[in-house]
Amino acid sequence: MSDDEVKKFLYVNRKAPYGTIYAQESLEVVLIGAAFDQDVAMAFLDDGVFQLTKGQDTKGTGLKNFSPTYRALGDYEVTKLYVEQESLDERGLTLDDLQDIQYEDEDDDYAEKPSIIVVSRDQMASLMAEQDVILSF
């Protein structure tokens, strides 16, 4: 692979936020990685879907609430957040329980478009199978 070729990176998130640091430090990788102009997507499955829920309020815990950062991902041109339907279903969640995360599509007169793409488990498996680099946290 030549140096100027773009690789497909998938960041796989399977863990809930706060109980452990993985979700937060994963987000830090994604933000730094955005500067490298690769083809980046994030996958949220299993407990990873809990990272995207609305209404997170960490005041009583002393932990930093990093959930607003997901809404800023579009500014870093991270615009593909794949969320697995079965993982939502298993946890009694629907798309309405997740934050409204949007990006401005510069190829479409900066129209605001949703970053979250809900996919089936089979579609998630196919997405994983077409990556060059999969980083899991």
Partner 1 sequence: MKFGIVVNEGPYTHQASDSAYNFVKAALAKGHEVSRVFFYHDGVNVGTRLTIPPQDDRQIQEQWSALAKEHELDLVICIAAAQRRGLLDENEAKRQGKDADNIAEGFRISGLGQLIEMGIEADRTITFGD
Partner 2 sequence: MATLHTVNRSPFQDQALLSCLRHVKKGDSVLLFEDGVYGAMSGTALSDTVAELGADVSVYALDADVAARGIDSARLLEGVALVDYAGFVDLAANTERTQNWL
Of 31-39, 69-77, 106-114, 117-125, the window that binds partner 2 (rule: CB under 8 A) is 117-125
For residues 62-94, one letter each, b for 16 or more C-beta atoms within 10 angstroms of the residue's C-beta and e for the rest, the string is: eeeebbeebeebbebebbbbbbbbebbeeeebe
Among 25, 89, 112, 132, indicate the residue that binds partner 2 (CB under 8 A): 132
- Do 44 and 53 contact (CB within 8 A), yes or no? no
- By CB under 8 A, residue 136 contacts partner 2: yes
Structure tokens at 32: 């730094």
Residues between 39 and 98 that touch partner 2 (CB under 8 A)? 45-46
Binding site for partner 2 (CB under 8 A): 12, 14-15, 22, 45-46, 121, 124-126, 128-129, 131-134, 136-137
